[in-house]
């Protein structure tokens, strides 16, 4: 079980890290005065500084109020549900890069409906393929916005 205080502290550390990263990255470009006004790094540097400082305050508040923040941030059951949702989403992104977005969408919709929704495979596959075909028609023909395509579309000579 993840405690609220742990989550607060972790998030504050990450945002502080992002702030410091922006400061370090900005230093490269000059944060002082240049011939054309403030250096290109000035604005990101001070924004990074602001984020880092505010994150430290958040961190301090989370540390001090630790006993007050002893409620659960995420219990086991919730974590499982989030993982069961995000796992397939990440696989969907990987599949999009390998197989193209339409095939990935059809697979993703079919498999989540079948394995997680408890529907029959036939119905799941019909829904998945139908949805992918719908997106294909709407995007490629109606709006003429191309999405990433993979080997299947190439085999059909669709692009």
Partner 1 sequence: MDNFASLFDGFRIALSFQHVIIMVAGVLLGILVGVLPGLGAPNGVSLLLPLTFSMDPVSAIILLTSMYWGALFGGSTTSILFNIPGEPSSVATTFDGYPMAKQGRATEALTLAFLSAGFGALVGVLVITILSTWVATFAMQFSSPEYLAVYFLAFASFIGLGGTSPFKTIVSMGLGFGFATVGMDTISGGLRLTFGFSELLSGISFLIAVIGLFGIGELMLTMEEGLRFDGVRAKVSPRDVVKTIRHLPRYWVALLRSSAIGVWMGITPGGPTAASFMSYGLAKRVSRRPERFGQGEPEGVVSPEAADHAAGSSAILPMLALGVPGSATAAVMMGGLMIWGLNPGPMLFVERPDFVWGLIASMYLGNIVAVIVVLMTVPLFASILRIPFSIIGPIIVVVCFIGAYTVGSREFDLWLVLGFGLMGYMFKKLEYPIAPLVLAMVLGDKAEDAFRQSMIMSKGSLSIFWSNGLVSTLIALALVLLFWPVLGILVRRMLPVRSSSAFGQGTVPKS
Instruction: Dig out the tokens for 107 from the structure.
Output: 């697979």
Q: Contact, 70 vs 9, CB < 8 A? A: no
Binding residues for partner 1 (CB under 8 A)? 4, 7-8, 11, 15, 18-19, 21-22, 25-26, 29, 33, 36-38, 40-44, 47-48, 50-51, 54-55, 57-58, 61, 73-74, 77-78, 81-82, 84-86, 88-90, 92-93, 96-97, 101, 105, 108-109, 112-113, 116-119, 127, 131, 135, 139, 143, 145-148
Q: Which is nearer to partner 1, 71 or 155 (CB)?
A: 71
Listed in sequence order, the residues at least 6 apart from 20 whose beta carbon sits closer than 8 Å to its beta carbon are: 48, 52
What is the closest distance, in whole angstroms, from the C-beta atom of residue 145 to partner 1 in the complex?
Answer: 5
Q: Which is nearer to partner 1, 48 or 155 (CB)?
A: 48
| Cα-Cα-Cα-Cα dihedral sign, residues 137, 138, 141, 145 | negative
**Residue 115, φ and ψ in degrees, nearest 5:** -85, -35
Tokens 């890069």 correspond to what residue?
A: 97
> Considering the complex, what minimum distance in angstroms separates the CB of residue 33 from partner 1?
6
């Amino acid at each position: 079980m993840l405690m609220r205080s742990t989550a607060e502290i972790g998030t504050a550390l990450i945002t502080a890290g992002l702030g410091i990263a922006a400061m370090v990255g900005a230093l490269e470009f000059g944060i002082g005065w240049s011939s054309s006004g403030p250096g290109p790094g000035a604005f990101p540097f001070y924004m990074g500084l602001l984020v880092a400082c505010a994150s430290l305050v958040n961190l301090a508040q989370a540390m001090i109020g630790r006993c007050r923040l002893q409620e659960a941030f995420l219990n086991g059951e919730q974590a499982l549900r989030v993982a069961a949702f995000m796992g397939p989403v990440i696989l969907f992104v990987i599949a999009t890069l390998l197989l193209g977005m339409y095939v990935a969408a059809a697979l993703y919709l079919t498999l989540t409906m079948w394995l997680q929704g408890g529907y029959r495979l036939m119905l799941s596959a019909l829904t998945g393929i139908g949805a992918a075909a719908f997106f294909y028609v709407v995007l490629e023909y109606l709006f003429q916005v191309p999405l990433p395509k993979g080997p299947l579309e190439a085999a059909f000579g669709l692009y």
